[in-house]
Amino acid sequence: MKFEVNVLGCGSAKPSPIHNPSCTVVNFRENLFMIDCGEGAQKELQRQRLKLPRLNHIFLTHLHGDHVFGLPGLLGTMALSGLEGDITIHTFEDGKKILSSIFDYFNRGLPIDVKFNVIRPEEAVVFENDSLRVRTVPLRHKIPAVGYVFEEKPGLRHINREMCDFHQVPMWAFNRIKAGEDFVKDDGSVVANALLTKDPSKPRSYAHISDTSYIPDLAEKIKGVDLLFHETTYLTPDKDKAKERGHSTAAEAARVALDANVGRLLVGHYSSRYKDDTLFLDEALSVFPNVILGKEGLRISV
């Protein structure tokens, strides 16, 4: 089943002719979850053919403008598209107050019901349904900030069709067996579930670590995720500036990926001072072997 990460914007605060401000969309089983909403997000959504009606949750990492200024435009576009229903914005208490005021002025009469889920800079589950869990991890930035970890829940066991046929298991019993039940035959004998099924697919996971200075113990909180996005605003020669401004270098992001034993590292949130993005790739690869250079339009299967 689909679990994809779509990069809509991977620039940092200062506008750049090369990159859009921060915005990422997770497509989980055809439901869209947006992380941050920089300017122009609504245009990039359309360019990448991501379906607006599928978007019901927006997760904000923090309240700097390059991560939130796209929200009024996005909601306006959704309204002009004739969409109805509700959308939930996950943000801090200050975000609820500020955004409510903005929406009341610029998005008055919106046919979409905007709801807020107030979060805190702490470790907590902020969204959960039958197949997905989203939790926060606190980051270290100039203002309160969190990262998000998207974790697929374990699925049902897979039917071993050959063994089910051998034991003449009827179709009506398959769902129970996939859920872990043994099968009881008409004569009262029991066929163990382990004989009739195979292990479920390994659950997949994605961690989105936005603006933060290097946090050595962060690795323990995202251990083993399949795909990690970790901001790489600066390169090592500007390490002091990164720390001062609450950001990370490409090498520091790669160190987190290495310590956390993740599958792949996606880099982004590049400072506009650098004109060659491949410098971030090269620096990260010097520490961690599996790095993806973030760019707009990139779609990655988790």
DSSP type of residue 51: -
Same domain, 244 and 222: yes
pLDDT mean over 172-193: 86
Which residues fall within 8 angstroms of residue 172, CB to CB, at 6 or more apart?
Answer: none
Token digits for 107?
């998005």
* Predicted confidence (pLDDT) at residue 176 exceeds the cutoff of 90: no
% of the chain at pLDDT higher than 90:
75
* Predicted confidence (pLDDT) at residue 167 exceeds the cutoff of 90: no
Is the Cα dihedral 288, 294, 300, 302 positive or negative? Answer: positive
Same domain, 190 and 101: no
Same domain, 31 and 134: yes
- 198, 230, 262: which is the final residue of a domain? 198
* Predicted confidence (pLDDT) at residue 38 exceeds the cutoff of 90: yes
Quickly state the pLDDT bin for 213 (edges 50, 70, 90).
Answer: very high
Same domain, 172 and 243: no
Round to whole Å and give the CA distance between 185 and 31: 40
Report the mean per-residue pLDDT for the chain.
Answer: 94
Same domain, 168 and 248: no
* Predicted confidence (pLDDT) at residue 199 exceeds the cutoff of 90: no
Host domain of residue 184: 158-198
Which residues fall within 8 angstroms of residue 240, CB to CB, at 6 or more apart?
Answer: none
- 198, 227, 255: which is the final residue of a domain? 198
Least confident piece of the model among 103-107, 139-143, 266-270, 297-301: 103-107
pLDDT mean over 214-241: 97
DSSP type of residue 54: G
Token digits for 140?
């270290």
* Predicted confidence (pLDDT) at residue 110 exceeds the cutoff of 90: no
Same domain, 191 and 233: no
The alpha helices in 173-288, defined as continuous H runs, are 174-178, 193-196, 218-221, 239-245, 250-260, 278-285
| Annotated catalytic residue, options 66, 211, 226, 277 | 66
Same domain, 193 and 245: no
Same domain, 90 and 162: no
Q: Which of 120, 278, 139, 173 is nearest to 267 (CA)?
A: 278
Catalytic residue status for 217? no
The alpha helices in 172-249, defined as continuous H runs, are 174-178, 193-196, 218-221, 239-245
Same domain, 48 and 91: yes
Phi/psi at 19 (5° precision) = -125, 150
Q: Give the CA count within 13 Å in the CB-facing half-sphere of 214.
A: 20
- 136, 171, 198: which is the final residue of a domain? 198
- Residue 195, pLDDT score: 87
Quickly state the pLDDT bin for 16 (edges 50, 70, 90).
Answer: confident
| Strand 132-138, strand 124-128: pairing | antiparallel
* Predicted confidence (pLDDT) at residue 82 exceeds the cutoff of 90: no
The count of residues in the chain is: 302
Same domain, 105 and 207: yes
- Residue 29, pLDDT score: 95
At 96, which helix (H) or strand (E)? helix 93-106
- Residue 13, pLDDT score: 85
Domain CATH number, residue 52:
3.60.15.10
Same domain, 45 and 179: no
Residue written as token pair 């997905």: 132
Same domain, 123 and 194: no
Domain total of the chain:
2
Quickly state the pLDDT bin for 302 (edges 50, 70, 90).
Answer: very high
Beta bridge partners of 149: 135, 207
pLDDT mean over 270-287: 96
User: Per-residue pLDDT tens for 114-165?
Assistant: 999 999 999 999 999 999 999 999 999 999 999 999 999 987 788 888 888 8
User: Per-residue pLDDT tens for 236-266?
Assistant: 999 999 999 999 999 999 999 999 999 999 9
